[in-house]
């Protein structure tokens, strides 16, 4: 691997982190490399930069495509495939969230649903089912919220984010105003 030191640290870090997520080292490194490259890279350039085998790069790129984390570009008059990452970090975040949900949350949700349909035999199973129902409920709440929020355009999302917990303050204020309005119209009626 022969990369500028600053880029190399980044790439190596993503390689390490890879294993904490479900992805492997090479996949992480390739992603990092593409992310910081000004121009799309072709497979051989990646081989060169990271010092791993051609076939490994091929398989890893395939996996990244499965995650929708890389884009394929073609240079006119060149038969090779060139790869980049989407350049808007928010887009990347959404994709990541979507894919992780698909792989990590949805399967669990469907296993839970299936089990909850069954008839428990015995007290232990009954109790277990109750616990699973709690878990199922929580996950469902979270995914509903997520499905809802992911529709928002970047701007509103940013507003919400920067407000953070202050949103509850706004909610409180609104309640007060509504209450005030009610009182007012009540007194007007009398």
Partner DNA sequence: AATAAGTTTCAGAAATTTCTGAAATCTCAA
Partner DNA sequence: TTGAGATTTCAGAAATTTCTGAAACTTATT
- The site for a copy of itself (CB under 8 A) is made up of 4, 6-7, 9-10, 13, 17, 19-22, 35-38, 89-90, 93, 103-104, 107-108, 111-112, 114-115, 118, 120-125, 127-129, 131-132, 134-135, 137-138, 141-142, 144-145, 148-149, 151-152, 156, 158-168, 170-171, 173-174, 177
Site string for DNA, 24-43 (x = CB under 7 A): xxxx--------------xx
**CA separation for the pair 79, 155 (Å, rounded):** 39
Single residue of 56, 84, 95, 143 touching DNA by CB under 7 A: 56
Residue closer to a copy of itself, measured from CB, 16 or 44:
16
The item of DNA, a copy of itself, none sharing an interface with residue 60, based on CB under 5 to 8 Å by kind, is DNA
Shortest separation between residue 116's beta carbon and a copy of itself, angstroms: 9
Burial class (CB in 10 A: 0-12, 13-18, 19+), 46: buried
Site string for DNA, 156-175 (x = CB under 7 A): --------------------
Shortest separation between residue 120's beta carbon and a copy of itself, angstroms: 6
Among the listed residues 3, 79, 55, 5, the one whose alpha carbon sits nearest the alpha carbon of residue 34: 3
Among the listed residues 29, 85, 86, the one whose alpha carbon sits nearest the alpha carbon of residue 60: 29
For 42-78, give the DSSP string. Answer: EHHHHHHHHT--HHHHHHHHHHHHHTT--EEE--TT-
Residue whose tokens read 């640290």: 9
Cβ-based neighbours of 31, under 8 Å, separated by 6 or more = 14, 64, 69, 70, 85
| Apex 114 CA angle, 113 and 117, nearest 5 | 85
Binding segment for DNA (CB under 7 A), chosen from 6-14, 51-59, 108-116, 121-129, is: 51-59
Binding segment for DNA (CB under 7 A), chosen from 33-41, 79-87, 114-122, 160-168, is: 79-87
Shortest separation between residue 171's beta carbon and a copy of itself, angstroms: 6
């Amino acid at each position: 691997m022969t990369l500028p030191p600053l880029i190399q640290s980044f790439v190596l870090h993503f390689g390490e982190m890879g294993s904490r997520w479900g992805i492997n080292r090479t996949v992480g490194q390739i992603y990092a490399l593409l992310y910081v490259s000004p121009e799309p890279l072709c497979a051989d350039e990646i081989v060169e930069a990271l010092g791993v085998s051609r076939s490994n790069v091929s398989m890893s790129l395939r996996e990244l495509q499965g995650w929708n984390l890389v884009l394929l570009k073609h240079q006119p008059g060149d038969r090779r495939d060139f790869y980049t990452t989407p350049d808007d970090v928010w887009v990347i975040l959404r994709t990541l969230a979507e894919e992780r949900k698909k792989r990590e949350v949805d399967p669990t949700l469907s296993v839970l649903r299936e089990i909850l349909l069954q008839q428990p035999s015995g007290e232990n199973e009954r109790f277990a089912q109750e616990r699973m129902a709690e878990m199922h409920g929580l996950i469902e709440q979270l995914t509903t919220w997520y499905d809802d929020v992911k529709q928002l355009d970047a701007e509103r999302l940013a507003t919400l984010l920067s407000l953070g917990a202050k949103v509850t303050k706004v909610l409180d204020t609104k309640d007060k105003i509504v209450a005030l309005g009610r009182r007012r119209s009540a007194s007007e009626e009398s």
